[in-house]
Amino acid sequence: MERRNSRMQLEFVEVTMEEGTSSDSTNLHQVVPPPYKSSLQKFITKIKEILFPDDPLRQFKGQPLHRKLILGAQYVFPLLQWAPTYSFKLFKSDLISGLTIASLAIPQGISYAKLANLPAIQGLYSSFVPPLVYVVLGSSMDLAVGPVSIASLVLGSMITEEVSPTAQPDLFLQLALTSTFFAGIFQAALGVLRLGFIIDFLSKAILLGFMAGSAVIVALQQLKGLLGITHFTKKMALIPVLSSVFHNVDEWSWQTIVMGICFLVLLLGARHVSIKKPQLFWVSAGAPLLSVIISTALAFAIKAQRHGISVIGKLPRGINPPSADKLLFQGDHLVLAIKTGLITGILSLTEGIAVGRTFATIRNYKVDGNKEMMAIGFMNVVGSTTSCYVTTGSFSRSAINHNAGARTAMSNVVMSVTVLVTLLFLMPLFQYTPNVILGAIIIAAVIGLIDIPSAYLIWKIDKFDFVVMLTAFFGVIFISVQLGLALAVALSVLRILLQITRPKTVMLGNIPATNIYRNIHHYKEAIRVPGFLILSIEAPINFANITYLNERIYRWVEEEEATIKENVCLQFLVLDMSAVSTIDTSGISLFKDLKNSLTMKGVAIVLVNPLSEVIDKLKKSDDGNDFIRAEYLFLTVGEAVASLSSAMKRKTPTME
């Protein structure tokens, strides 16, 4: 009785099925093979789905030629979508928001250039040309373009590893521009090759941890300026910076510290006001410029340098000089420039696209990721030839742009023109701006990157994501920005691979008085069907999980056999395949192995609702295993159980 003759049983089932199909044909629904598609067709479909999920040519379908041309031009230059209907009313909004972000962009530009160990003027250059390029090519209406803190930090720290910004300032600048060039090429290439999904691997959890960590690192770097230390470490990580701070206590300048703390309080206060009352956005938007003006006037009045307060010094007047001749395509540092370009490229891309998408969702328009990549990439390539370093859409300035009522990308033009005026006429005014104020501006800006409530939400929803976030945070603080990020991404990918390696298999039971079968550990009312083991496999089956699935399913069967009741021993293993979206050659072998080991036990395998790819491949590999014969295939678990139960009932008496 324990070991039944499996062949006999299988034949029995067959007979019953044939009877079934003749009499109950209206109740049983056949699993049909999918419509035929050649390998080439499948390949094209797959490539389309991988590279063109948004089907960008869709809008061109069925349009007359001139319309196609217009749509094509609009596709390449999104400016053409809104420029024709641009009105004075829209311009009024854009003018206000443009001036608002300019008042923020000028002090931040100078500060971030310092953060990247570049001359302050580079920050203003980078706020002039790139916005103009973006206006023509970009599709976001809210993005405020210019240098950003994280990319500046990473660019500066990576190049500083090989070249000293103080000993070799020219080479340093050349490498920064070259890195910007490679960043742009890389960004545009991702867009052209439609590989934009690569940035999706920087998940929200990673970004949260990474930005908070960067904020800490950036803020710590400002201790140099805030404390007036002259001999400061070139390293970025927490420990060398803190040790540098406390080993140079004799260099601390109390005048600098007092000034820094006063303005930091002012800036943080302004930020607080704007957070509490969003309509007062102009308070935090204007505070940095106001601080610069006051502190510069103060420094000029008290002759700050005599009191140990360092100032920016003379800045050149005039617009961006061309810099194509400064790009280095050979020499010892080429690899460094490419590496820096890749990393700052991907970081600035992530920030720019995340910001663009956020505001597009709020205002309900669409931002095309791949197109944005091309826009940002081209902007950086152009930037690298006009003395600009890496730029993208900034989190903080875009938010203020949006709050200030920007309607189109024209606000970037307004900002750019304001920067132009500054470059042409106002540069001498910055001569006496104290460095300490730049540090205060940066700290006030990056504090906004630390988002505790979101971190708490992640903790609540998903502990593993929280661990990923902490990895990014501590990795950035204690090791380095690049390695912290890489660790967190590796951890996320590892998790996905683990999920693949250990797919869920759940036991289904019948929900009484229905044909519905659900997880018996979730739906307590679901009951098992005697003689059946119904499992749902909830993942693609592939080389990475067949060993596990084989062991796991075998264990389910053994456990089920150990709990036999009422003389009905296990006869059918029903595998619900609804969730097995893909399968590979190893996956196919799982069924053969399972069949081999279960036939010995007298258990027949029945497949329910295999999807087209699975049917297809089972068919192709069929060498007498018969998995795709109708008597082993059912469209729903309910039908499988109904049909097979009748076979079983008729059989039991003959066995006893």
Nearer to a copy of itself, 222 or 510 (CB): 510
Task: Name the residue with tokens 């970025």.
Answer: 236
Q: Which is nearer to a copy of itself, 39 or 87 (CB)?
A: 39
**All residues at 6 or more sequence positions from 266 whose CB lies less than 8 Å from its CB, including other chains:** 287, 291
**Of 498, 474, 494, 501, whose CA–CA distance to 485 is shortest?**
474
Nearest approach, Cβ of 584 to a copy of itself (angstroms)?
5
Print burial letters for 268-297: b (CB count within 10 Å at least 16), e (below 16). bebbeebeeeeeebbbbbbbbbbbbeebbe
Instruction: Enter the tokens of residue 564.
Output: 């036999």
Q: Which is nearer to a copy of itself, 255 or 358 (CB)?
A: 358
Work out how close the CB of 287 gets to a copy of itself at its nearest, in angstroms, rounded to a whole number: 31
Closer residue to a copy of itself in complex, CB, 465/631: 465
The residue from 3, 66, 524, 565 that contacts a copy of itself (CB under 8 A) is 524
Residue 318 or 512: the one with the smaller Cβ distance to a copy of itself is 512
Give the range of 95-103, 160-168, 171-179, 608-616 binding a copy of itself by CB under 8 A: 608-616
Question: Counting contacts by CB under 8 A, is residue 649 touching a copy of itself?
Answer: no
Q: Across the strands, what pairs with 311?
A: 434
Q: Considering only residues 464-523, where is the footprint of a copy of itself by CB under 8 A?
A: 464-465, 492-493, 496-504, 511, 513-516, 518-519, 521-523
Q: Segment near a copy of itself (CB under 8 A), from 73-81, 102-110, 169-177, 536-544?
A: 536-544
Q: How far is CA 577 from CA 514, 547, 583, in A?
A: 20, 18, 11
Quick note: the x/- pattern for a copy of itself over 201-240, rule CB under 8 A, is: x-xxxx----------------------------------
Residues in region 130-159 near a copy of itself by CB under 8 A: none
The answer to whether residue 556 forms part of the interface with a copy of itself (CB under 8 A) is no
Q: How many angstroms separate the Cα of 638 from the Cα of each of 183, 519, 581, 644? A: 56, 14, 21, 10
User: Out of 66, 89, 306, 460, which residue is the one contacting a copy of itself (CB under 8 A)?
Assistant: 460
Instruction: Closer to a copy of itself by CB, 254 or 456: give it.
Output: 456
Taking the complex as a whole, the smallest distance from the CB of residue 480 to a copy of itself amounts, in Å, to 23
- In angstroms, the CA 179 to CA 341 distance is 4
The residues facing 517 across adjacent strands are 510
Q: What is the DSSP string of 341-399?
A: HHHHHHHHHHHHHHHHHHHHHHHT----HHHHHHHHHHHHHHHHTTT----EE-HHHHH
Binding range to a copy of itself, per CB under 8 A, among 100-108, 112-120, 474-482, 532-540:
532-540
Residues in the interface with a copy of itself (CB under 8 A) total 89
Residue found by looking up tokens 């328009």 in the block: 365
Q: Which of 9, 180, 284, 609 binds a copy of itself (CB under 8 A)?
A: 609
Structure tokens at 187: 């960004």
Closest CA to 550 of 517, 597, 518, 582: 597
Span from 234-242, 301-309, 390-398, 605-613 in contact with a copy of itself (CB under 8 A) = 605-613
Window of 1-9, 29-37, 176-184, 237-245 that interacts with a copy of itself by CB under 8 A = 29-37
- Single out the segment in contact with a copy of itself by CB under 8 A; choices: 140-148, 170-178, 200-208, 325-333: 200-208
In angstroms, the CA 99 to CA 91 distance is 12
Phi, psi of 470 (to 5 degrees): -65, -40
| Tokens matching residue 122 | 């580079």
Q: Within a 10 A sphere around the Cβ of 222, how many other Cβ atoms?
A: 24
By CB under 8 A, name the one of 635, 642, 645, 646 that touches a copy of itself: 635
57 binding a copy of itself? (CB under 8 A): no
**Residue 18 CB, nearest distance to a copy of itself (Å)?**
22
Please identify, using beta-carbon distances, which residue of 239 and 461 lies nearer to a copy of itself: 461
Q: Which region among 125-133, 197-205, 309-317, 322-330 touches a copy of itself (by CB under 8 A)?
A: 197-205
Neighbouring C-beta atoms of residue 38, cutoff 10 Å: 8
Q: Pattern 575-604, binding to a copy of itself, x per CB under 8 A?
A: ---xx-xx-xxx-xx---x--xx--x----
Within residues 359-378, the interface with a copy of itself by CB under 8 A covers 361, 364, 366, 369
- Give 270 or 544: the residue with its C-beta nearer to a copy of itself: 544
* Helices 481-501 + 204-221 axis angle, to 10: 160
- Are the C-beta atoms of 651 and 9 separated by less than 8 Å? yes
Yes or no: say if 619 and 33 are a contact pair by the CB < 8 Å rule: yes
Closer Cβ to a copy of itself, 116 or 608, answer by number: 608
Is 29 a residue that touches a copy of itself (CB under 8 A)? yes
| Residue number, 37 or 317, with CB nearest to a copy of itself | 37
User: Is 309 among the residues that bind a copy of itself (CB under 8 A)?
Assistant: no
Q: What DSSP string describes 154-198?
A: HHHHHHHTTS-TTT-HHHHHHHHHHHHHHHHHHHHHHHHTT-GGG
